[in-house]
Amino acid sequence: MSDFTAFQLKSGIPGHIDIQSRLTEDLWDEFMFHDPVSNALWGELFTSFPEYQQTLFVSGRPAGVINAIPLQWDKPLDALPDEGWDWAFQKGVEDHRKKRTPDLLCGLQIAVAEEFQGQGLSAFLVQSMKETARDHSLKALIIPVRPTWKSRYPLTSMDDYISWKCDDGLPFDPWLRIHVKCGGTILHPCSHAMTIPGTVAQWEEWTHLRFFQSGDHIIPGALVPVHMDIEHNQGLYVEPNVWVVHHLEG
C-alpha cells in the first residue's frame, strides 16, 4: 500500500475533466467511450455536481478517479431498475434540473491508473465515495458495478456469474469481491445498464475487427456478445451490470 500521507483526494480543481480523461483513456476499450448518454451528459458532472467528482493524487501524480451523481429514489433499493448506469445518469441530471432533493449517491466510475493498480486503491476509493455520500447526508451509495472478469465469460448469464464464489465465500469476481469486503451488498443484475449503438464501420473501427455477417459476435472487453445487423448497418451492445448497495445509516 502506498503511503497514505502522500494521498490527496481533490474535487473541483481547474482542468479536472481533462485530468480525469487522460488518466482513464487507456483503461477502457474504445467502444466504451461511445455510450450516447455518457457523451451527452459527462460534462454536466463537472458543472452541476463538481463536489462528487474526485481525483486521487499520490505524491502529486493523478492515480485514481471517482465519478458519482446524487439522485432521488422513493422505492425500495431492491427495486432499482434494470436500466442501470444510463438510467442513473439521466435520473440524476433530471432530478437536479427539477430541483428534487436527492437521497442516494450513485457511483458512475471508480478507476485506478495502471501504474498504481494492485496497491489497494480501489477499496480506498470505494470507502471515499461512501464518505462523500455520508458528508452530504445521503442514505446509501448505489453502484451499477461492471464486473472485472465478466468479459472472460461473455456467454455466461450475469445471474450465473454473480453466483460464483471463492473458497472463502466471497464473490469470484475481484471487483464484486472488493465491494463486498467494503460492506456492499449485491442486489441483482441490471441487464440494460448501458446501450452502445453504432454502424458496422464504427464497430470495426472501435474493435479492429471485420464483421461479414449478421449475428452475435464476441468482442474483446465486452461483457456479452455484440449483435451485428449487416443488412441494416447496425451494431448494438447492451451491457449488463450488477446493482450493489452500500448502506450508510448510522
pLDDT digits (tens, 9 = 90+) for 220-246: 999 999 999 999 999 999 999 999 999
Predicted pLDDT of residue 187: 98
Predicted pLDDT of residue 250: 52
Give the chain's mean pLDDT: 95
Domain boundaries, the chain: 4-193+242-247, 198-235
Residue range 90-94: mean pLDDT, rounded:
98
Q: How far apart are CA 65 and CA 122, in angstroms?
A: 10
Q: Does domain 4-193+242-247 have CATH number 3.40.630.30?
A: yes
Task: Tell me the HSE value of 230 on the side-chain side, using a 13 A CA sphere.
Answer: 8
Predicted pLDDT of residue 8: 83
Q: How far apart are CA 75 and CA 78, in angstroms?
A: 8
Contact assessment for residue 247 and residue 196, using Cβ atoms and an 8 Å cutoff: no
Contact assessment for residue 34 and residue 79, using Cβ atoms and an 8 Å cutoff: no
Predicted pLDDT of residue 236: 98
Task: Give the cell for residue 142.
Answer: 448505489
Query: Of 1 and 80, which is predicted with more confidence?
Result: 80
Predicted pLDDT of residue 9: 86
This prediction has a pTM of 0.94
Phi (first) and psi of residue 97, to 5 degrees = -65, -30
Residue range 103-120: mean pLDDT, rounded:
95
